[in-house]
A and B are shown apart, each in its own frame.
Chain A
Amino acid sequence: MQPVEQRDEVEMLSLMLLIRRFEERASQQYQAQKIGGFCHLYIGQEAVVVGAIAGVRPDDYVITAYRDHGHALARGTSADACMAELFGKETGCSRGLGGSMHFFDKQHHFYGGHAIVAAHVPLGVGLAFAIKYRGEDRVTLCFFGDGAINQGSFHEALNLAALYRLPIIFICENNLFAMGTSVKRSTSLKQIVDRAEGYDIPGEIVDGMNFREVRDKIAEVAESIRKESHPAFLEVRTYRYRGHSMSDPASYRTKDELEKYRLDDPIIRLRAQLTREGKLTNEQFDQLDKRAKQTVLDAVKFAEESPQLPVEKLYDYVYFNGAKS
């Protein structure tokens, strides 16, 4: 079994900063109308994906829903390719054909970026099926939001994963709201993790604002899966600071609630842990932040200057090895 490489925590903090600064800049560029369509920001949830990625191997499979910028960046897709995708450019991670909700990066084993709520959960199960079919020791990380857990495809997928004992971690990023509907108003359960019990899948609750807790839990579960294939479920409790999408002022929640979560910010928390342990100085943190901001500014420039896919190439992306029908 190939071991999971320990990722440097300062590097992981810097990845969280990159996601934060990327999303802030995306928000600004969206308002400047450089980015079209829908745009869902990941601000506040960074420790979930960065923690999860830090707990697995680069060749493990990752798939998520439409709030996917952070997942691509955490997986290793460049800020250039991500920003260019938002700008609809040929240099984007999906050649400008997918947009904000459909990021893909085959090279980094990132399988999307899926915008129909819960429709990708069966796909995640399929990735895990392929792992077991080939007798590999990879694990699939399948992310989705709390809004996905009441869709039929979610339930069908969990049952199939449990029935075939597939190597998959279902990661519910519970940010308390499906668009504007709170979990309390959408779900009959007291806690989401209980959904897993109905399918005889082991489930746990994880503090999604705590990078180390997410990483360690994912690593522990992944190791167990690599030893003997099975599905697992983690309800990762987190919070998104912004509205559901750019057009949502999030008036369904109070300022107090938002402030409470901001005080528990995942970046501040990891920074404080590292500082306390003498692994990071304030100057070093400022340097990291400055670097993240610059990377994102460079990405905007890259996206601005990149070409669009010419109309003549439109039909090249309908059928593989195929022509117009």
Chain B
Amino acid sequence: MREITYRQALNEALAEELERDPNVFLMGEEVAEYQGAYKVSAGLLQRFGPGRIIDTPISENGFAGLGIGAAMVGLRPIIEFMTFSFSLVAFDQVVNNAPNMFMMSGGQFNIPITFRGPNGPAHQLGATHSHATENFYASVPGLKVCTPATPRDAKGLLKTAVRDDNPVLVLEAELLYSSKGMVEPPDEELLIPLGKAEVKREGSDVTVVCYAQTVPIALKVAAQLEEEDISAEIVDLRSIKPLDEKAIFDSIAKTHRVVIVEQDHPFCGVGAEICYRVQKDIFDELDAPILRVSQEDVPMPYNEHLEHAVLPNAEKLLAAVKQVCYA
């Protein structure tokens, strides 16, 4: 193991998959000559050439559709959105074409495509550039959605996504590109399955379900809670769809209390689905009502202190955990 950044981990995943399979190519805005808007694709143009690392004009709908068409005849495109906020311009392709094709064609055409890029609010980018899209996309049958929070998960999930025979969205955490973590050495194949959560910290008093940019928040809060003798178990979903129901249920069966901290909006958010499943299947395990910490139900304001008030954060999570623990 060695320590690398989230950005480097994604870069390694791309390079390894491009190296392994000549059908894999990377396409998007500024991915080639500019070396990636967030430098995730740095060095790939030099290594793999302009035939496989392809700059596009600002035409998300067009190049997302191009990728889907290429996937219909067996290529394995990786389509980068500069941010998933811009994927909304290609919503029709991502929602109407990629996941519907397999059903619509009676199973003749699966679409082995990866859509990737930063997702979720960053810092003071305002309403148009701060979307957390995981709940929209997870609601579409035929799509898979993963949300890595660590360099190791970023590498392992992206590689798995590229090898999956279906459309997979890798929603990267914009704020975590420079964060560091331990990852297996490059000569060791790292594949992390979709639909498998990971307990990032074991605990016995309360379960905190989190993903993507809320994982570091949850870990920080768990450390604070330890000082107050509350032992929090941190369950990182890693994938939103498929959802690892079992990992959530197993943890709640141990702690009997749960807070979900999510980066999307509360209405029809990821946490709403989890709450439904928990009350339906393991109602008797609960010793307290489930609480959710999410964004406020407003478009994102630019003003820094208002943005802080909208986002899920450590103070809100700490308060929610204490409430379910009656502490």
- Which A residues form the contact surface with B (CB < 8 A)? 61, 63, 92-98, 102, 104-106, 111-114, 116, 119-130, 133, 152-153, 156-157, 159-160, 163-164, 316-322, 325
A159-B103 in contact (CB<8A):
no
A126-B105 in contact (CB<8A):
no
Point out the residue from A96, A120, A126, A164 that lies within 8 Å of B67, measured CB to CB: A126
Chain B residue total in the interface (Cβ 8 A): 45
Point out the residue from A106, A119, A125, A325 that lies within 8 Å of B97, measured CB to CB: A119
5 pairs, CB–CB < 8 Å, chain A vs chain B = A111-B73, A129-B75, A159-B59, A160-B57, A322-B166
- Which B residues form the contact surface with A (CB < 8 A)? 25, 51, 54, 56-57, 59, 61-75, 92-93, 96-97, 101-110, 112, 141-142, 144, 165-166, 195, 241-243
Give the chain B neighbours of A156 by CB distance below 8 A: 57, 59, 61-63, 65
Contacts A97-B103, A111-B72 known; A122 to B142 CB distance under 8 Å? Answer: no
A82 to B142, CA, bound (A): 25
Contacts A102-B105, A104-B105, A319-B166 known; A116 to B92 CB distance under 8 Å? Answer: yes
A111 to B57, CA, bound (A): 25
Given contacts A126-B72, A127-B72, 6 further A-B contacts (CB under 8 A): A97-B104, A111-B72, A116-B92, A120-B97, A160-B57, A322-B165
B103-A318 in contact (CB<8A):
yes
A120 to B141, CA, bound (A): 20
Point out the residue from A95, A113, A160 that lies within 8 Å of B63, measured CB to CB: A160
A125 to B109, CA, bound (A): 17
B106-A96 in contact (CB<8A):
yes
A322 to B103, CA, bound (A): 13
Quick one: closest B residue to A102, CB to CB? B104
Contacts A94-B104, A123-B68 known; A163 to B109 CB distance under 8 Å? Answer: no
Give the chain B neighbours of A114 by CB distance below 8 A: 97
Overall SS of chain A's interface: mixed
Give the chain B neighbours of A113 by CB distance below 8 A: 104-105
A93 to B57, CA, bound (A): 36
A182 to B92, CA, bound (A): 25
B62-A316 in contact (CB<8A):
no
- Report the minimal beta-carbon distance from A155 to chain B, rounded to whole angstroms: 8
Quick one: closest A residue to B108, CB to CB? A106
Point out the residue from B70, B103, B141, B241 that lies within 8 Å of A130, measured CB to CB: B70
A130-B65 in contact (CB<8A):
no
Point out the residue from B51, B59, B62, B144 that lies within 8 Å of A325, measured CB to CB: B144
Contacts A126-B67, A126-B70, A317-B107 known; A160 to B102 CB distance under 8 Å? Answer: no
- Report the minimal beta-carbon distance from B82 to chain A, rounded to whole angstroms: 16
- Report the minimal beta-carbon distance from B108 to chain A, rounded to whole angstroms: 4
Contacts A153-B62, A159-B57, A163-B57 known; A316 to B107 CB distance under 8 Å? Answer: yes
Contacts A163-B57, A318-B142 known; A127 to B104 CB distance under 8 Å? Answer: no
- Report the minimal beta-carbon distance from B89 to chain A, rounded to whole angstroms: 9
A319 to B168, CA, bound (A): 11
B75-A130 in contact (CB<8A):
yes
- Report the minimal beta-carbon distance from A115 to chain B, rounded to whole angstroms: 9
Quick one: closest A residue to B56, CB to CB? A160
Point out the residue from A112, A121, A130 that lies within 8 Å of B74, measured CB to CB: A130
Give the chain B neighbours of A102 by CB distance below 8 A: 104-105
Give the chain B neighbours of A127 by CB distance below 8 A: 69-70, 72-73
